[in-house]
Every structure is written in structure tokens, then in C-alpha cells.
């Protein structure tokens, strides 16, 4: 069986580094910063109040999100976690979390989400935003 998934820890023998994290370096963050800057420029004309700091909603796995150079990223990061009720305790279950991340992307696209607060209404397949489980930089969605 051939590998079907690109592992970020894959060893490389290139001048840019010994693995994919080193290969990408700060390129991804640099591109995200350029995208955020372009978005702010588009808003300058109608923007009367000071523009709000850009926010990157992180729906990636921990493995892939490590490819973002947080030191050079010029945006707030909002992490999203999905937890399942197991015997009265909410826990992240990898296979369910992976599916839920995809469901939230679908939800954001279908509902044309423009403001991160709108993500709190995500309720697909029984998930609900949990204020009690959440913090300022990590929003948690739970299901029973």
C-alpha cells in the first residue's frame, strides 16, 4: 500500500532543511501575512473605526499547524477543539475531531461566515459551543 498522506515529519535532504517544517520555514506565515495585509487594504476606504487585528481560525491538526511560524505571523490565532462526552468527561477523540474540523469548514463556507463570533452557532452533528470549556484563544465545541 502506498502512503496516501504527507507526513510533516518526513525527512528531506534539501538545502532548505531536513524535514518539511524546515523546508517551509516562515513561507506560510509570510503568505498569510500578505493575505491579511491585502484584506486590510481592501477595507481602508470604508473603514471609519480602527481596523480590527486579523484573526486566523485554526482548524488544522496540531501536526500541520506547526508549519505556521507563530513568531512571524501578524494575526491572532483562534484554535478550535472538538470534544466528546465519555462517561461524563469531555475528551478530544482524534477521529471525531478530524471529521468535525471538516464539518466546521463546510459550515463556514455554506453560511458565508464573515465574523468569528458567527462560528459559535456551529451545531452540526450535535456539537455545541461550550463557554465553560473554552478560553479566549481556544473555543471548544462539545457533543454528548
Q: Give the pLDDT confidence of 111-137 residue by residue, as tens digits.
A: 999 889 999 999 999 999 999 999 999
Give domain status of residue 82, yes or no.
Answer: yes
pLDDT tens-place string over residues 67-93: 999 999 999 999 999 999 999 999 999
**Number of domains into which the chain is organized:** 1
* C-alpha span between 72 and 70 (Å, rounded): 6
Give the Cα separation of 69 and 21 in Å (integer): 9
Cβ proximity of 58 and 104 under 8 Å? no
Report if residue 4 sits inside a domain: no
Q: Is residue 92 in a domain?
A: yes
Kindly report the length of the chain: 144
Residue 1 lies in a domain: no
pTM here is 0.84
Which residue would you say has higher pLDDT here, 38 or 128?
Answer: 128
Pick the more confident residue, 63 or 103. Answer: 103
Q: Measuring CA to CA, which residue among 125, 120, 135 is closest to residue 102?
A: 125
Q: Residue 116's domain spans which residues?
A: 11-143
DSSP 80-129: EEEEEEETTEEE--HHHHHHHHHHHHHHHHHTT--SGGGGGG--GGG-EE
Q: Tell me the average pLDDT of the chain.
A: 89
Which whole number is the average pLDDT over 99-112?
Answer: 97
pLDDT, residue 12, reads 76
Amino acid at each position: 500500500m502506498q502512503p496516501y498522506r504527507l507526513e510533516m515529519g518526513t525527512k528531506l535532504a534539501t538545502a532548505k532543511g531536513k524535514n518539511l517544517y524546515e523546508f517551509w520555514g516562515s513561507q506560510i506565515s509570510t503568505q498569510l501575512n500578505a493575505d491579511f495585509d491585502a484584506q486590510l487594504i481592501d477595507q481602508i476606504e470604508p473603514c471609519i473605526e480602527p481596523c480590527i487585528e486579523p484573526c486566523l481560525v485554526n482548524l488544522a491538526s496540531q501536526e500541520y499547524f506547526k508549519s505556521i511560524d507563530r513568531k512571524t505571523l501578524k494575526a491572532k490565532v483562534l484554535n478550535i477543539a472538538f470534544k466528546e462526552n465519555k462517561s461524563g468527561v469531555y475528551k478530544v477523540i482524534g477521529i471525531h475531531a478530524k471529521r468535525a474540523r471538516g464539518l466546521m469548514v463546510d459550515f463556514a463556507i455554506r453560511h458565508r461566515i464573515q465574523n468569528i463570533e458567527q462560528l459559535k452557532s456551529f451545531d452540526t452533528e450535535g456539537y455545541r459551543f461550550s463557554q465553560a470549556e473554552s478560553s479566549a484563544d481556544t473555543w471548544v465545541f462539545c457533543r454528548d
